[in-house]
Structure 1
Amino acid sequence: MGQLWRYIKTIMGIIFRHPITGATIIPILPDGRIVLIRRQDTGQWGLPGGIIDWGEDVLTTVKRELSEETGLDLLTIRRLVGVYSSPDRDPRIHSISILIEAEVTGTLAIRDSLEVLAVEAFDKDHLPLGNLSHDHDRQLVDYLQGLTVLA
């Protein structure tokens, strides 16, 4: 499987020659807790988000991904936390992540069980930092330190 994936990544790189762009969300509930998802592919916790579909803007992607992965609705964007573009930030492919902090509302629910195993809200002091998917450890630490990052 590893050999096949390297081959697919190489072909995609040749065809597209551009990184894939996505939105990653730090969903903040009214009580201040941060919502994370447990990913189906790795079993790791991470932030919700996904690829910006053709014809979508970032705001539409944020609303769609929040709904699909967490069951939550967007109230408002609080701030742009950063843009993460390191070629190795996502082990699957070169992707750019636009990280935003968002006020959200609703009831936690998984609507996309192909991608998400669990959804849970964590107090800032109890985030499962240390083994999050992709570069989400770095993204959450940057956020908690109040940074705005271009990396």
Structure 2
Amino acid sequence: MPNGYISELKMDNSKPMPETLFDYPSEIDKISKEFNNIITQSSNAEDLGYDHLAGIGYRKAIEFLVKDYLIEFKNEDRDSISSKLLSQCIKSIDDERIQNLAKAASWIGNDETHYIRKHIDKDIQDLKSFLHTLTSLVSFEIQISKAEDFINNN
């Protein structure tokens, strides 16, 4: 085999995969079916020491959350939202707090995917902190909407 190639691959299945360390409100799963898969894989990658991959995964989780939020909760057109850049989707969020959290998290997430970092004073922990708060605010908005529906229908 040429130098640098693995001649034999051995799997060690004796080690269980780590549990996700990224807790978020269950309401998120109702609007974003893939968010859990992405966030779990990202958290597992981070726990296994694959910090570069984890950062990219968290960035992907932001995109799915924002787009699914707009499609499933704000009833925006799936085809239109799916084809837009994340930054365009974030601009269309009507809650400024959610918009700002998504923007800040995506900026740090973009740094995780690019060669040169724009925000050298921020890291994956800041990204996760913003993402935690983003999921909380989206969850609050969902709960408020449910309460309003309940009040208006009684």
Q: TM-score, normalised by structure 2?
A: 0.28
Between structures 1 and 2, the one with greater strand share: 1
Q: TM-score, normalised by structure 1?
A: 0.28
Between structures 1 and 2, the one with greater helix share: 2
Q: Which one has a bigger Cα radius of gyration?
A: 2
